[in-house]
Every structure is written in structure tokens, then in C-alpha cells.
Amino acid sequence: GQNIDQPTEMTATEGAIVQINCTYQTSGFNGLFWYQQHAGEAPTFLSYNVLDGLEEKGRFSSFLSRSKGYSYLLLKELQMKDSASYLCAVLDSNYQLIWGAGTKLIIKP
């Protein structure tokens, strides 16, 4: 079966750095997405990786290793507004999105 694993919850301090990991086992791979979802709101797109390596976008970076079935989202200079759930999703060989359950990130002052 297809599977996406992420930690359920993480806690970090304002101003610090946090890394949210995502491992996947899917039938084929056509890209990996990260979405941010604040409580009670819609998911919003953060990043897309299809090739190995690091993609940097401001305070957020996303890394992919296709050989290891692994990605991480790195958040720097954490702000209180970064408190949210972070969803990892993989586009499989049929171009269907397989979603992880999400990681709830709690930021403490």
C-alpha cells in the first residue's frame, strides 16, 4: 500500500529553527508537496520538489531525497504565526495525490 509518515506533533521556540520530516512509500513518484494549514482554515501551498536537493523560499526550505523516500521542511526564524499543521503529499505514478496526516507545529514564546 501507499504510505506517508510524518510526526504527529512538534514543539519549537519562537526565533528557533525546526525540521519537519516526511517519509513516503508510494507507487511511483511525480513530485512532493508541502502545504500549511492553520486551525480551521484551508491548506495553502508552500513548496514543490520533484528533483533531489534543497529548494529555498524565504524562511522556508524543502529538501527531497528520492532514493531514500524522504523529505523535510525546514522553518527558520520561527514566528508565532507559523503555528499550524504542515501537510506532506506525494504525487504517485497515476498523478494521484497521497496525503500524510500532517504535523501540528506548536510555537512557544
Which one of the spans 10-18, 63-71, 73-81, 99-107 is the region binding another protein (CB under 8 A)? 99-107
CB 91 within 8 A of CB 27: no
Q: In the set 16, 17, 54, 101, which binds another protein (CB under 8 A)? A: 101
Judged by CB under 8 A, the chain residues 5 through 44 that form the site for another protein are 8, 30-31, 33, 35, 40-44
DSSP lists the bridge partners of residue 79 as none
Q: Which is nearer to another protein, 3 or 13 (CB)?
A: 3
With binding defined as CB under 8 A, does residue 60 bind another protein?
no
* Whole-number Å distance between alpha carbons of 61 and 54: 7
